[in-house]
Amino acid sequence: MNEALKMNDFPTTARVVIIGGGAVGTSSLYHLAKAGWTDCVLLEKNELTAGSTWHAAGNVPTFSTSWSIMNMQRYSTELYRGLGAAVDYPMNYHVTGSVRLAHSRERMQEFQRAKGMGLYQGMNLEILGVDEIQDKYPFLETHDLQGALYDPADGDIDPAQLTQALAKGARDMGARILRFTPATGVSRENSEWIVHTDKGDIRCEYVVNAAGYYAQRVGEWFKPYGGRTVPMMVMSHQYLLSEEIPEICQWSAETGKKLPLLRDVDVSYYLRQEKNGFNLGPYERGGRAHWADPSDPMPEDFSFQLYPDDLDRLEHYIEDAMARVPLLGSAGISKVINGPIPYAPDGNPLVGPMPGVPNAFEACVFTFGIAQGGGAGKVLAEWITEGATEWDMWSCDPRRFTDYTDHDYCVENGKQVYGHEYAMHFPWHRWPAGADRKLSPVDSRIRAAGGVMGAYNGWERANWFAKPGDDLSHETTQTWDRAGPWEARIREECEAVRDHCGILAISGFTRLQVQGPGAKDYVDGLTASRLSKPGRIGLAYFPDARGRILTEMSVMVHGDDHVGLITASTAQWHDADVLRKNAPAGLHITDHSHEAECFLVTGPKAREILAPLTDADLSLPWLSVQLDSHVAGRPCALLRVSFAGELGWELHCANEDAVAIYDAVTAGGAKPFGMWALNSLRLEKGYRAWKGDLSTDYTLYQGGLDRFIKLDKPQDFAGKAALAAEFQRGPSKRFVTLLVEAKLADAPYMSTLWHDGTVVGETTSGGWGYRVNASIALGMLRADLAVPGTEIEVEIYGERCRAVVQADQPLWDPANERLRA
Ligand SMILES: Cc1cc2nc3c(=O)[nH]c(=O)nc-3n(C[C@H](O)[C@H](O)[C@H](O)COP(=O)(O)OP(=O)(O)OC[C@H]3O[C@@H](n4cnc5c(N)ncnc54)[C@H](O)[C@@H]3O)c2cc1C
C-alpha cells in the first residue's frame, strides 16, 4: 500500500522499469529476474491484475497456425505446470484438454497443419473422427461435424493467481514491485531513462511498456524520443457464467475431471466448464469497440471495472451453443463479464523493441495475454538481456506496423479480427478492413488492367490480374488448394515473363541511405557479405551476433561516404533499426521509401522494349547500376536485377515520373503481372523471401547462404565468430529446394518434412512453379539428408507427399544464362 512504501525504500535506480502489473508485466519481471537481472522494478498504478487480467476467462490453449505464437503458448503451458511448485504459490491450473470442432474439410486441413507443427514442437495434438468426439466430450451434438482436434495441453488457469505467482517468484529473486504507483511520464538524460511516478523518479537503462489497454497512452510519452502512436484499439469481450448443472456435477464427481474446453471455431465461441456450470464466450461479428471516438473517451482509470452487460449481441451464439450442448439450455445465466481487450490491427501482441526509441520495449496489446503471458515474458527478457530471441518473433514485433496504422485503420482491423478470431487464414483471401492506405502513382492503371490487390506494408500492389468474367467472390478464396480463378492467370503471367516481358509495380520498396564519413566501412561491419563496387548492386546478408539471419538488403556503394540500400517494404522499420542501432555520430541514416516508385521490367524481350525508351546502356551486365539515366524522357535509375530470374531491370523513378514511364513501357508491350506470379518465379530460382525463408530461426550457413559469407574479408562484422565456429563444425540443418509430388495444395510455411517415420525438417515456403511445371518447396532439412536425390516426404495439410531434394542451384535456368543474356 501507499503508506507502506517508505520514502527511503523507494528505488531511485534500476536496470529495467516495467510499466504495468498484469499477467504480461509480471511475467516479464519474473523472466528478467530468472535471467539474473534482479535489479528491476515493476510499477502498477493500482493493484496487480487491475487491467484486463483480473476478469480474463483464463483459457490457456497451445493451438495456433503461427509457428512463433504456438511456441509462446506452448512455453506458457510448460511454465504454468511447474510454476506453483517453483515459486511456492499453489494455484488453480486445470489441464483439461480441449476439443476444437470442424464443420468443413478446410477446417480439418487447418487442424492437420497445426497437428504437424505441434508434433514438431513436441506436442501431441490429436485428430478426432466424428465418432470419437463424444468419448472426449459426452454432452455434445455431433451429427453435422467433420471431426475435431484434441489438444491435451489446453486448460484454464486463475489469471489473478497466475499473476501473483509470477510476482512472488520475481520478488523472491530480488525484483521489486511497487503497487499503487502510477508511472506519470518518462524523460531521457545522459542515455538513461527517468521514469516519473507520483512518489519519485527512477533512473534506469531500459523501460518496458506493459500497460495493457493503456499502452497507447503510455506510448505517447516516448514520442519526443522517436516514438509513434501505439497501433491498437479496445474491444469489449463478454463471457457468461451459467448456474450449476446437476449432470455436470455428476459427471465430474464420477470421472474426477473437468470437461475439456470446447471451441466451436466455425461458429466462433468457447465453452468451458466453470465449477459445475459453464462459461460461454463468443467472439461475435460486428462486436463493439470502446473508447474509439471522442464521444466515448477512455477514462483516466478503469481499474477493476467492467462494461455493462450487452447480451443482445450474443443471442445467435448462445442459441447455437445450446443446440450444440443442450445441457447449457437447462441452466440460467448467473453472471456476465464484459471487459476490455486490446487489439493490434492483426490481433497479435506487440512484444519487442519500441520502434524508433532507444532502450525501450513493448510487451502490450495482448488479446490472449493469459495464454501468451508466460512465453511473452521469456521473449521480452531475451530481447532486453540478450538483444535477440530464441524463436523468430516477427509475428509479434512492434516494427511490423509502420506509419499507415492510423486510428481508423486500427479500429477497423481490430473489429474485423475480433469478429473472425477463429477464422482460417487462406492464402488467397484478402481481409477487407484498412485497404488503400498507400497507393502507387499508377494504381488506377493497375486496377483498370484487372489488378486484384493486396497490401504490403500498407502499399497496394496487384497480386494477380483478373480477366472479365473471372469469379472474384469471397467464396472462391476459401480454400487451401492451388486451384481457383487466379491459377490460370498466374500461369499466363509467368509465361509472359518467361516468353516475352512483364511489368510489376513494386510499390513501397524500402530505400535507406547511409551518408557521412565512414558510411561504407560502417555498413561493411554489419554484413557478412562483400560489398559490391560502385556502379554495381549486390545482395548482402546481415547476421546477428549468433550468426542468425537478421535481414537481407541490396546494397549500392556510391562512395566511401555514401551507401544506398533497398529492402523489402515490410522490413522498413526493422531494417532502418538494423542500420541505426550502433551508428556512430556523424552518420546520417535516412528513409526515402515514400519518394520513389519501382517497376520490375523482366523477360527475354525486356531489352527490346526498353531500348527505344531509354538512354541507358542496356548492354551493361547483370547487377550493373545506372543512376542517371532516363526512360520515356524522365529521370530514372536502371538496376539490372530481376527477382523473377529473367533478363530484366528495376526502374526506380520519382513518383511524379512513374505514370509516364509505366505508360511507355506497357505501350511498348510489357504485360502487367502480379506478386503471386513473382512468388512462383522466385521459388523456381530458389530466391529467399524475408521472414519465411530468411529468419532468425536460422543461421546464414543453415540458410545455405555460404557464397554470401566472406569470413576472410578484412572488415570484422557482427556474428563473424559464431559463423566461423559453425563453419568448422558444419551446420546441423541445411536449406534445400524440394520438388514435391503435391496433390491439390502446395506446401505452406512450416509443413513438416519426414524421413523414415521421423520429422527431419520444415518448409519455409512453397508453391507451384509454372515454368518448371512442378510443386516446389524451400525448407530446412537435417544436414545429413540434404543431399541431392534424397527422397523424403512433405506433410501438406495432413497428407504425406513424396519429395526429392534438388541440387543446390536454381530449378529454372541453373546457370543464370537468361539473367545474363
Ligand atoms: C472477458 C475477457 C475474457 C478473457 N479471456 C481470456 C482468456 O481466456 N485467455 C487469455 O489468454 N486472455 C483472455 N483475455 C485477455 C486477457 O485478459 C488479456 O490479454 C491480458 O489480461 C492482458 O494482460 P496484460 O498484462 O498485457 O494487461 P493488463 O492486465 O491490462 O495489465 C496492464 C496493467 O498496466 C497497469 N497500468 C496502466 N497504465 C499504468 C501506468 N501509467 N503506471 C502503472 N501501471 C499502469 C494497469 O493498471 C494494468 O494493471 C480476456 C479478456 C476479457 C476482457
557 Rama sector, left if φ>0, alpha if ψ -120 to 50, beta otherwise:
beta
User: Which residues share a beta bridge with 271?
Assistant: 262, 280
Residue count (the chain): 821
C-alpha cell at 734: 541445411
C-alpha cell at 241: 457464467
Q: Is the minimum distance from the CB of 22 to ligand 1 under 6 angstroms?
A: yes
Count CB-CB contacts under 10 A for residue 315: 11
Cβ-contact 98, 112 below 8 angstroms: no
pLDDT over 70 (residue 7): no
pLDDT over 50 (residue 4): no
Question: Cα(359)–Cα(133) distance, rounded to whole angstroms?
Answer: 50
- Between the CA of 22 and the centroid of ligand 1 the distance, in Å, is 5
Q: Is the minimum distance from the CB of 305 to ligand 1 under 6 angstroms?
A: no
Q: Is the minimum distance from the CB of 17 to ligand 1 under 6 angstroms?
A: no
> Which residues have a Cβ under 8 Å from the Cβ of 80 and sit 6 or more positions away?
60, 93, 157, 162, 374
> Which residues have a Cβ under 8 Å from the Cβ of 38 and sit 6 or more positions away?
32, 173, 174, 175
User: Which residues share a beta bridge with 802?
Assistant: 793
Pick the atom of ligand 1 nearest to 369's CA.
19
- Between the CA of 122 and the centroid of ligand 1 the distance, in Å, is 29
CA angle 514, 556, 640 (to 5 degrees): 150
Residue 479: alpha-carbon gap to chain centroid? 21
- Between the CA of 241 and the centroid of ligand 1 the distance, in Å, is 20
Q: What is the pLDDT of residues 378-434, one digit of tens each?
A: 999 999 999 999 999 999 999 999 999 999 999 999 999 999 999 999 999 999 999
pLDDT over 60 (residue 812): yes
Count CB-CB contacts under 10 A for residue 246: 11
Q: Is the minimum distance from the CB of 46 to ligand 1 under 6 angstroms?
A: yes
Q: What is the CB-side half-sphere exposure of residue 559 using CA atoms within 13 A?
A: 5
Q: Is the minimum distance from the CB of 616 to ligand 1 under 6 angstroms?
A: no
Average model confidence (pLDDT) for the chain?
97
pLDDT over 60 (residue 1): no
C-alpha cell at 669: 508491350
Q: Which residues of 110-119 are buried (b: 16+ CB within 10 A; e: fewer)?
A: bbbbbbbbbe
Q: What is the pLDDT of residues 522-546, one digit of tens each?
A: 999 999 999 999 999 999 999 999 9
Question: Cα(555)–Cα(44) distance, rounded to whole angstroms?
Answer: 46
Q: Is the minimum distance from the CB of 157 to ligand 1 under 6 angstroms?
A: no
Helix axis angle, 485-499 to 675-685, nearest 10°: 60
Q: Is the minimum distance from the CB of 371 to ligand 1 under 6 angstroms?
A: yes
Q: What does the pLDDT read at residue 5?
A: 47
Q: SS3 for 614?
A: strand
**The model scores a pTM over 0.85:** yes
- Between the CA of 166 and the centroid of ligand 1 the distance, in Å, is 15
> Which residues have a Cβ under 8 Å from the Cβ of 647 and sit 6 or more positions away?
602, 603, 604, 606, 607, 818, 819, 821
pLDDT over 50 (residue 478): yes
Q: What does the pLDDT read at residue 8?
A: 64
Average pLDDT (13-33) is 98
Count CB-CB contacts under 10 A for residue 522: 20
- Between the CA of 249 and the centroid of ligand 1 the distance, in Å, is 31
Pick the atom of ligand 1 nearest to 24's CA.
25
Pick the atom of ligand 1 nearest to 159's CA.
21
Alpha helix (H) residue ranges in 177-298: 215-220, 246-255
Q: Is the minimum distance from the CB of 349 to ligand 1 under 6 angstroms?
A: no
In percent, the amount of the chain with pLDDT more than 70 equals 99
User: Which residues share a beta bridge with 759?
Assistant: 754
Q: What is the pLDDT of residues 493-507, one digit of tens each?
A: 999 999 999 999 999
Sign of the alpha-carbon dihedral angle for 421, 422, 427, 429:
negative
Average pLDDT (109-117) is 97
Beta strand 200-209 with 13-19 is: parallel
- Between the CA of 167 and the centroid of ligand 1 the distance, in Å, is 15
Dmax over CA atoms of the chain, in Å, equals 86
C-alpha cell at 226: 522517436
Q: What is the pLDDT of residues 757-768, one digit of tens each?
A: 999 999 999 999
pLDDT over 60 (residue 3): no
Question: Cα(622)–Cα(642) distance, rounded to whole angstroms?
Answer: 9
Q: Is the minimum distance from the CB of 51 to ligand 1 under 6 angstroms?
A: yes
Question: Cα(341)–Cα(356) distance, rounded to whole angstroms?
Answer: 26
Q: What is the pLDDT of residues 740-754, one digit of tens each?
A: 999 999 999 999 999
Q: Which residues of 32-44 are buried (b: 16+ CB within 10 A; e: fewer)?
A: bbbbebbbbbbbb
Pick the atom of ligand 1 nearest to 364's CA.
26
Q: SS3 for 631?
A: strand
Give the N- to C-terminal CA distance of the chain in Å, as an integer. Answer: 76
**Ligand 1 pocket test, candidate residues 41, 235, 370, most atoms within 8 A of CB:** 370
Beta strand 176-178 with 183-189 is: unpaired
Pick the atom of ligand 1 nearest to 236's CA.
53
Residue type, 221: W
Give which of 270, 268, 271 is closest to 285, Cα–Cα.
268
pLDDT band with cut points at 50, 70 and 90 for residue 2: very low
Distances (CA, A) of 752 to 149, 746, 801: 18, 13, 11
Q: What is the pLDDT of residues 40-67, one digit of tens each?
A: 999 999 999 999 999 999 999 999 999 9
**CA-CA-CA-CA dihedral for 26, 30, 33, 37, to nearest 10:** -50
**Ligand 1 pocket test, candidate residues 27, 52, 209, 350, most atoms within 8 A of CB:** 52
Pick the atom of ligand 1 nearest to 363's CA.
26
**CA-CA-CA-CA dihedral for 758, 760, 765, 768, to nearest 10:** -60
Sheet holding 549-559, edge to edge: 538-543, 549-559, 562-567, 510-515, 588-591
